[in-house]
Amino acid sequence: MKSEEQLARGLAALGLDLPPAAQDKLLAFAALLGKWNKVYNLTALRDEEQVVSHHLLDSLAVLPQLGAAKRLADIGSGGGLPGIPLAIVRPDLQVALVETSQKKSAFQQQTKIELGLANVSVYCTRVEIWQPAEKFDAVISRAFSDLAEFVRLSGHLLAEGGALLAMKGVHPYEEIAQLPAGWRVAEVTPLQVPGVEGARHLVRVKREP
């Protein structure tokens, strides 16, 4: 199946109606990822179909959970996932990509330029020492660390009422039990990602009121 058709079917399965221009940009991002991956090892996935399912569609599965968020930080962003796909489909969303690897940050910066993503900012730094001028409505991570570590390193980035969003595989019962004092799980949402076998969940963590 062609990537265009696979993406269109996947978006339909997710209930997402995206304009053709956004779909084209998503595919252009996938192509950039494949091109740079040959040199920089951005992702273990080499197969084009898996890039669409496990990267693009997996990232976009969380889109409904962002709600009315206007500022999003993507921690340990790697190849720009999920931040870049989310920035492509939500031009109104300001997305900060935070990554310690200079090679991966260079890829993110080049992608921002080539795809004209004015709503993306790239920060090559350690998240625990990063002090942005403005806090975020949501801070997301995809396979960055366990929940307790995510809270410890990233909690200072949240605006009042904001949420940490952790993309996980199986329901992380043990990790939830290890959350530090002052934090609670507000919601665990099962995600169905077209073409991805196995469980996917989004864990929403908030400060105790």
**Looking at residue 50, what is its pLDDT?**
78
Distances in Å between the Cα of 116 and the Cα atoms of 28, 61, 80, 111 are 11, 23, 15, 8
Q: How far apart are CA 167 and CA 162, in angstroms?
A: 16
**Looking at residue 143, what is its pLDDT?**
78
Q: How far apart are CA 97 and CA 18, in angstroms?
A: 23
Burial 44-54 (b: 16+ CB within 10 A, else e): ebeebeebbbb
In this prediction, the residues of the chain whose per-residue pLDDT falls under 50 are: none
Q: How far apart are CA 75 and CA 38, in angstroms?
A: 23
The domain made up of 3-207 has a fold known as: Rossmann fold (3.40.50)
Q: Two tokens at 96?
A: 């900060």
**Looking at residue 36, what is its pLDDT?**
83
CA angle 134, 137, 138 (to 5 degrees): 115
Mean pLDDT rounded to a whole number for the chain? 94
**Looking at residue 42, what is its pLDDT?**
65
- Is residue 201 helix, strand or coil? strand
Question: Taking Cα atoms as reference points, which of 32, 162, 157, 51 lies closest to residue 106?
Answer: 32
Bridge partners for 95 per DSSP? 72, 120
pTM: 0.96
* CB neighbour class for 169 (10 Å; exposed up to 12, middle 13-18, buried from 19): exposed
**Looking at residue 47, what is its pLDDT?**
64
**Looking at residue 176, what is its pLDDT?**
96
Spatial CB neighbours of 167, under 8 Å, sequence gap ≥ 6: 58, 62, 82, 140, 141, 142, 143, 200, 201, 202
**Looking at residue 150, what is its pLDDT?**
97
Q: Which of the 8 DSSP states describes residue 156?
A: G
Q: Both ends of the chain: CA-CA distance in Å?
A: 49
